[in-house]
Amino acid sequence: MLGNSINGNLHPVCLHDRAEIEAYLRRVAPLHLYELGDLDDFFWPYTTWYAHRPAGDVEQAALVYSGISPPVLLALTPPPFAEMAALLRSIKPFLPKRIYAHLSGDLVEVLAGDYHVESHGPHHKMILANPAALAAVDTSPVIPLSTTDLDRLTALYQASYPDNAFDARMLETGCFFGLEDDGVLVSVAGIHVYSEQYRVAALGNVTTHPAHRGRGGALAVCAKLGQTLIDRGIEHIGLNVKADNQAAMACYQKLGFEYVATYTEYMLTG
């Protein structure tokens, strides 16, 4: 059974109080936008929250999100990483045998003895710090996308972003926008996480068909999405981007996004 301690040894607890989890996450909100969004009713049923709270308050928390396959482990923290490493050691018996992980620093070393580790490289977290920059982009050709566009969205991702973690349920939020060329969808921007209740969103599912890159398509669809999120009252808008994707980072910086932190993504197979 999960519990706080047995004979003085620290053991994990499962958190079920959303207010308690939110208070912990908002200590470093730009780092935890995904987790904050997952508190929303839309995502909450697919979440399991593990924590250490030896003195009553949450010291560290990690999330396993099972709304997609494989499940995703989010274990993100500012340095130093020793406390999160201790939490990961204590929850290893409860983790799925196959899981995709977002990990800070060298935390993967805690799991490397129990999993085959396939690194998907370092990523940067970015936050929208200058929303006024969005207004400088011409978004007039951009169109909203909905569930009726699923087939052509899927075709675009297969052609230009085959390893994209796309959850079709996200189309229900009305937060996907695209550009067409002769009626064919060639650019798209959407969200991975969205919550009006918690006022957070994370851009994702962004791609442009290889034959149409370099024309400002991604800039336009992301700008329209950002403007829409602000109009809906979203206060914290962030994203994750591969650290070696200089073109994407330049695009996001032009839109007013700034660097927050670096983490690494891994596929872990036990």
How do residues 94-150 score in pLDDT, each as one tens digit? 999 999 999 999 999 999 999 999 999 999 999 999 999 999 999 999 999 999 999
Mean pLDDT of 9-31: 94
pTM for this structure? 0.91
Where do runs of H (alpha helix) occur along the chain? 18-25, 33-37, 82-91, 108-111, 150-160, 217-231, 246-254
Cα 122 to Cα 115, 188, 224, 265, distances in angstroms: 19, 24, 27, 6
* Rounded CA separation 263/124 (Å): 6
CATH fold of 128-262 reads Aminopeptidase (3.40.630)
**Dihedral of the alpha carbons of 143, 146, 148, 153, in degrees to the nearest 10:** 70
Cα 216 versus chain centre, distance = 24
The Cα–Cα gap between 255 and 165 comes to: 23
Position 194 scores a pLDDT of 94
* CATH of 5-122 among 1.10.1740, 1.10.3470, 3.40.630, 3.90.25: 3.40.630
Tokens of residue 240, six digits: 């994750």
- Peptide bond before 80: cis, by omega within 30 degrees of 0? yes
Please state at what angle helix 217-231 crosses helix 246-254, rounded to 10 degrees. Answer: 40
Spatial distance between the Cα atoms of 157 and 222, rounded to a whole number of angstroms: 16
The pLDDT of residue 9 is: 53
pLDDT reported for residue 3: 46
Distance CA 92, CA 229 (A): 37
Give 176-226 pLDDT, tens digit per residue.
Answer: 999 999 999 999 999 999 999 999 999 999 999 999 999 999 999 999 999
Residues of the chain with CATH 3.40.630.30: 128-262
Measured on CA atoms in the order 137, 141, 146, 149, is the torsion positive or negative?
Answer: negative
Residue 151 has pLDDT above 70, yes or no: yes
φ/ψ of 147, rounded to 5, equals: -60, -25
Single-letter amino acid, residue 68: I
Q: How far apart are CA 225 and CA 197, in angstroms?
A: 18
**What are the C-alpha distances in Å from 108 to residues 104, 112, 134, 239, 242?**
8, 6, 36, 22, 18
**What pLDDT sits at residue 2?**
45
Q: Which residue has the tokens 């993967």?
A: 108
89: pLDDT strictly greater than 90: yes
Q: How far from 175 is each of 2, 240, 261, CA to CA, in Å? A: 38, 17, 25
In this prediction, residue 167 has a pLDDT band, given cuts at 50, 70 and 90, of confident
